[in-house]
């Protein structure tokens, strides 16, 4: 009986010991499993904090026309980037100045403002003045001065025409380069613009004189060129004089871009009759510039020479005084990760792209760009091969992100 009791106690002790070991092992293994489950979540949260993400539904993607392109390894032509400045084309900038002082009146229903498009010959405003005997004598002197200006302009046009004919003959004989012919053509166009301006001034003067009465005279201020009003320096019913422009007009359909080129870069620029031009004001748009001429004068301090390119300014993206980047091909190839130029956006001096990290999930990421050639650009940092970047509709994602951020606020 005592022996059976001892065996029972031993068995009870062994069962208790086995149960205790099993509980300890289970408790020890549980934290490891929990750690394995939470670690990916923590990593995902860290990645989300580094990139600003935007979630769109398939309907929103289809409606906005968003398209993506895979990042690939490739090569583009190495280019020399030179910054230039947008200028008005010769003869395509004009100031409207009355020939006599008077009171400024509105012509038509409304007074012109900055940004209005005007056509050549359009009446912008009216100047009315009471005429005195002393002013009549001044008008006679004005007529003499206008006649002298026309005579001088005619002589200038005749001289520039002879210069152009002589330069063409020298070019055909192989004596001078083509750029000398282009420079002579530009000089002739400038002289013709001065001639036309002098003729219009005298025609306007004669019209005023033919319509003037003995007590007062009126002058219609006409737009000398077709373009956009860039400055208005007076208001209706204000007294104006004949020493200050009332309106300033610029034709933006075609503009010039002037760049200062260092001496060692001139051979590369001379070989490029056309150049790709980009600006931060029009991301994703590449303009084409045609060589006009060189200034033929080197700055003694900076050792640079001015170069002019003519650009068709579609939709007037380029404004006077704006900076633009001119890309000259060097003939060498640069290798790296290539994406469309339309995928790269500029925001506060930083280059950005949108990467589709999952279906409908787009992450805004900062990148570093290198050489550009046509519609392709090299990205030196921020992307990997095979990632999908938004090549169409990236700007829409910027706006959508701002809209959602404002709604969350």
Output the pLDDT for position 42.
37
Could you report the per-residue pLDDT of 255-314, keeping only the tens digit for each? 999 999 998 888 888 888 788 888 888 877 889 999 999 988 898 898 999 999 999 998
∠ CA 224-254-107, rounded to 5°: 30
Q: How confident is the model at residue 26 (pLDDT cuts 50, 70, 90)?
A: very low
- What per-residue confidence (pLDDT) applies to 32? 45
What CA–CA distance (Å, rounded) separates 378 from 76? 7
> Per-residue DSSP letters for 153-217?
HHHHHHHHHHHHHHHHHHHHTTSS-HHHHHHHHHHHHHHHHHHHHHHHHHHHHHHHHHH--SSEE
Q: Chain-wide mean pLDDT for the chain?
A: 81
* DSSP code, position 225: S
Cβ atoms < 10 Å from Cβ of 195: 20
Q: What are phi and psi for residue 103, nearest 5 degrees?
A: -95, 135
151 in Cβ contact with 189 (< 8 Å): no
Pick the CATH number of 61-86+253-408 from 3.10.129.10, 3.40.50.720, 2.40.30.170, 3.40.50.150: 2.40.30.170
If you search the block for the tokens 């001379």, which residue do you land on?
270
Q: Which residues pair with 99 in a beta bridge?
A: none
The helix (run of H) or strand (run of E) holding residue 390 is strand 388-392
Alpha helices in 213-314 (DSSP H): 266-270
Higher-scoring residue by pLDDT: 276, 35: 276
Compute the distance between CA of residue 65 and CA of residue 400 in angstroms, rounded to an integer.
13
pLDDT at 125: 95
Average pLDDT for 179-202: 90
Q: Residue 118: its pLDDT value, please?
A: 94
pLDDT at 396 over 50: yes
CATH class of 91-250: mainly beta
Provide CATH 2.40.30.170 ranges for the chain.
Answer: 61-86+253-408
Q: Specify the pLDDT at position 330.
A: 74
HSE-CB at 376 with a 13 A cutoff on CA atoms is 19
Q: How confident is the model at residue 45 (pLDDT cuts 50, 70, 90)?
A: very low
pLDDT tens-digit readout, 118-129: 999 999 999 998
């Amino acid at each position: 009986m005592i022996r059976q009791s001892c065996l029972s106690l031993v068995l009870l002790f062994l069962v208790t010991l086995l149960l205790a070991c099993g509980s300890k092992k289970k408790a020890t293994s549980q934290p490891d499993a929990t750690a394995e489950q939470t670690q990916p979540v923590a990593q995902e949260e860290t990645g989300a904090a580094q990139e600003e993400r935007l979630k769109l539904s398939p309907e929103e993607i289809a409606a906005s026309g968003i398209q993506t392109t895979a990042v690939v390894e490739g090569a583009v032509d190495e280019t020399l980037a030179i910054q230039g400045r947008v200028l008005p084309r010769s003869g395509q900038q004009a100031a409207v100045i009355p020939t006599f002082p008077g009171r400024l009146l509105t012509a038509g229903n409304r007074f012109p403002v900055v940004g209005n498009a005007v056509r050549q010959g359009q009446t912008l405003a009216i100047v009315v003045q009471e005429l005195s005997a002393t002013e009549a004598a001044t008008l006679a002197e004005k007529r003499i001065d206008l006649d002298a200006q026309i005579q001088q302009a005619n002589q200038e046009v005749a001289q520039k025409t002879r210069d152009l004919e002589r330069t063409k003959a020298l070019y055909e004989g192989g004596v001078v380069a083509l750029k000398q012919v282009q420079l002579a053509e530009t000089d002739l166009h400038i002289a013709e613009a001065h001639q036309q301006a002098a003729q219009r001034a005298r025609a306007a003067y004669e019209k005023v004189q033919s319509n003037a009465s003995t007590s007062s005279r009126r002058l219609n201020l006409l737009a000398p060129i077709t373009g956009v009003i860039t400055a208005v320096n007076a208001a209706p019913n204000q007294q104006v004089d004949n020493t200050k422009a009332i309106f300033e007009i610029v034709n933006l359909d075609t503009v010039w871009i002037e760049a200062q080129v260092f001496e060692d870069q001139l051979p590369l620029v001379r070989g490029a009759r056309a150049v790709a031009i980009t600006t931060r004001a029009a991301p994703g748009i590449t303009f084409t510039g045609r060589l006009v001429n060189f200034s033929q004068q080197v700055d003694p301090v900076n050792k640079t020479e001015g170069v002019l390119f003519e650009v068709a300014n579609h939709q007037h993206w380029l404004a006077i005084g704006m900076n633009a980047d001119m890309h000259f091909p060097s003939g060498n190839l640069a290798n790296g990760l290539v994406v469309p130029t339309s995928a790269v956006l500029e925001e506060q001096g930083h280059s950005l792209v949108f990467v589709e990290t999952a279906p409908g999930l787009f992450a805004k990421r900062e990148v570093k760009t290198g050489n550009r050639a046509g519609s392709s650009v090299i990205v030196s940092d921020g992307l990997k091969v095979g990632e999908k970047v938004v090549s169409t509709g990236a700007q829409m994602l910027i706006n959508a992100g701002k809209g959602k951020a404002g709604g969350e606020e």
